[in-house]
Amino acid sequence: MYLCRTFKNQFTSQKAPSSLKNTFQAGILLWWLIRYVTYQKKTVLGGLMKKLKRQDLFCTKCYLNGEWADAADKSTLNVDNPATGEILGTVPNCKTKETKKVIDDAHTAFKIWKKLTPKERGAYLVKWYNLIEENKEDLARILTLEQGKPIAESLGEIALGNSYMTWFAEEGKRAYGQTIPAPRPGIRPITYQKPVGVVFAITPWNFPISLVLRKIAPALAAGCTIVVKPAGITPFSAIALFKLAEEAGIPKGVVNIITGNAKVIGEEVCTNPKVRKISFTGSTPVGKAIMAKATCTMKRFSMELGGNAPFVMFDDANMDHAINCAIGSKFRNAGQTCVSTNRFIIQKGICDKFIATYKEQFPSLVVAEGTDPSSIIGPLVNQEALDNIESLVADAVAKGAKIVLGGKKHALGGLFFEPTLILGMTKEMRIYKEEIFGPIAAIMTFETEEEAIELANDTEFGLASYLMTTDLGRAWRVAESLEYGLVGINDAGLALCEAPFGGVKESGMGKEGAHEGLLDYMETRYALMGGIGA
């Protein structure tokens, strides 16, 4: 009513206004319009979140030292639903002051947490794991609403991320040191593993739950405390995890989540000496910038950066395996993963058959909102992502590529893009050189094994690669020649809590998962015990 009256007053003023007054009134009108539209969007989305079994899991605050907090200056940032463009809610826009304080608090908590036994720390992880498992449907809904991926994929992501919790709960007990054979009488050189200290984790939007858990689980198991900064566009599913951390009774200051301006928070994280390790997943340029900025405090880094995955298929490959892998590795999360196939490199003799069989699968790739049970491909995450893949397609076509399927925005509009098949990729095209991050499968051919290896390695990236062959000797030879941290031989499901996930070259450093993943949060110390006799 008030809004209506205000509008009415604006239009029915009887006095002859001066031009200054006119401008002022127009300004007020515009302000009310923006507020009105924003209000409407919030109301619509509030309804979607109301479908949660536990309303409290949709939380719009940070968890800092065991308290739910706003930004000191109360400012906030909007978070959208990429499927509709509507505003889901806001998160605190924290800055330097809050970042510094939470790092101090995590540092205080570290003094106690590191003294717990691995079994005690593991018990907290298991409690948290159980709560995540109990609430996975709500978590999946929040994840899908803010990120866009189909609900089934969100559930898969949660199961994968949570598997790291129980695995590291056990592995923390196996942070063994060594006793080194003495090179002279009367001494015993020994090593032991100690937690590095406060960890700051910076995570991206494409796996907002699993990449958070993949960092928290080994950090806590090792005896570190942690502060997480999720991606600004997908913070709510990560915040929901911390609601469950509180319920699991994890002591205050041990796990924290802060949202806000990435650059401002990043500046403090990089220069603060109390942060002993930065665990980052994101783009190569931002990873490099963080490392450069943080050299002044000599921290440790885990850097899981960009990729340009080749999918090398030989004539002798099993077609069913290859097609399954070609679908999974390309279209999971609408192609927005760092391990997505970027370049299909197919041997000449089998290429036509591969294309024909692959094409048959495209009608089953249903494009729809992630909350629709039939959805296989959701929207892209934002306009920037959509613009980028449109320009990649235009560049490929201009350089002679042929679009066989898709190639444009989907009829649904918004951020939806058609699953796309492109033939005739060449080295000159941007789709060959850059990370695509969209549902575009681009194909080129090769003739010899040497040529395939050369093409596959022709990139500055070195994260994931895929190799399809049934020849055992070739599988060994080519896998070992691929300059990648990960090689999927006749399989595309590379992320496992039991295995060391991580890239080489400009795809980064460090491992997530496996025993190496635990050691990444620990430092080896050495003591020499002397005077013990011969």
Q: Which of 395, 438, 391, 434 is nearest to 415 (CA)?
A: 438
What residues contact residue 439 under an 8 Å CB cut-off, 6+ apart?
Answer: 330, 331, 334, 335, 365, 377, 406, 417, 418, 419, 420
Active site amino acids: 304, 338
Residue whose token pair is 């004539």: 315
Between residues 447 and 460, which has the closer beta carbon with respect to ligand ADP?
460
What residues are paired with 467 via a beta bridge? 312, 489
| Tokens representing residue 355 in the block | 């294309």
Segment lying near ligand ADP (by CB under 6 A), choices 157-165, 202-210, 317-325, 502-510: 202-210
| Tokens representing residue 517 in the block | 């993943």
Segment lying near ligand ADP (by CB under 6 A), choices 11-19, 51-59, 197-205, 465-473: 197-205
**Residue whose beta carbon is closest to ligand ADP:** 266
Between residues 283 and 457, which has the closer beta carbon with respect to ligand ADP?
283
Minimum Å gap between C-beta 258 and ligand ADP is 11
* Whole-number Å distance between alpha carbons of 114 and 112: 6
Between residues 175 and 227, which has the closer beta carbon with respect to ligand ADP?
227
Helix (H, G, I), strand (E, B) or coil at 98: helix
- Positions of E strands within 134-197: 178-179, 188-195
* Whole-number Å distance between alpha carbons of 426 and 444: 7
Segment lying near ligand ADP (by CB under 6 A), choices 157-165, 285-293, 457-465, 496-504: 285-293
* Whole-number Å distance between alpha carbons of 292 and 272: 14
Estimate the crossing angle of helix 136-147 against helix 236-247, to 10 degrees.
160
Helix (H, G, I), strand (E, B) or coil at 80: strand
Between residues 15 and 263, which has the closer beta carbon with respect to ligand ADP?
263
Cβ contact 451:355 at 8 Å? no
Q: Which residue from 182, 289, 479, 499 is in contact with ligand ADP, where contact means CB under 6 A?
A: 289
What's the DSSP call for residue 460?
Answer: S
Binding of residue 379 to ligand ADP (CB under 6 A): no
* Residue numbers 254-283 binding ligand ADP by CB under 6 A: 262-263, 266, 282-283
Minimum Å gap between C-beta 6 and ligand ADP is 37
* Whole-number Å distance between alpha carbons of 195 and 110: 9
Minimum Å gap between C-beta 382 and ligand ADP is 9
**What is the pattern of x (binds ligand ADP, CB under 6 A) and - over residues 207-246?**
----------------------x-xx--------------
* Whole-number Å distance between alpha carbons of 392 and 436: 8
Between residues 202 and 220, which has the closer beta carbon with respect to ligand ADP?
202
Minimum Å gap between C-beta 294 and ligand ADP is 10
Cβ contact 93:72 at 8 Å? no
Between residues 154 and 347, which has the closer beta carbon with respect to ligand ADP?
154
Cβ contact 188:181 at 8 Å? no
Segment lying near ligand ADP (by CB under 6 A), choices 196-204, 355-363, 404-412, 486-494: 196-204
Between residues 261 and 457, which has the closer beta carbon with respect to ligand ADP?
261
Between residues 95 and 127, which has the closer beta carbon with respect to ligand ADP?
95
| Tokens representing residue 99 in the block | 């970042």
Helix (H, G, I), strand (E, B) or coil at 65: coil
Minimum Å gap between C-beta 262 and ligand ADP is 3
Minimum Å gap between C-beta 384 and ligand ADP is 9
Minimum Å gap between C-beta 463 and ligand ADP is 13
Cβ contact 512:163 at 8 Å? no
* Whole-number Å distance between alpha carbons of 125 and 196: 19
Residue count at the site for ligand ADP (CB under 6 A)? 15
Minimum Å gap between C-beta 458 and ligand ADP is 23
Length of the chain: 534
Q: Which residue from 49, 106, 255, 290 is in contact with ligand ADP, where contact means CB under 6 A?
A: 290
Q: Which positions touch ligand ADP (CB under 6 A)?
A: 202-205, 229, 231-232, 262-263, 266, 282-283, 286, 289-290
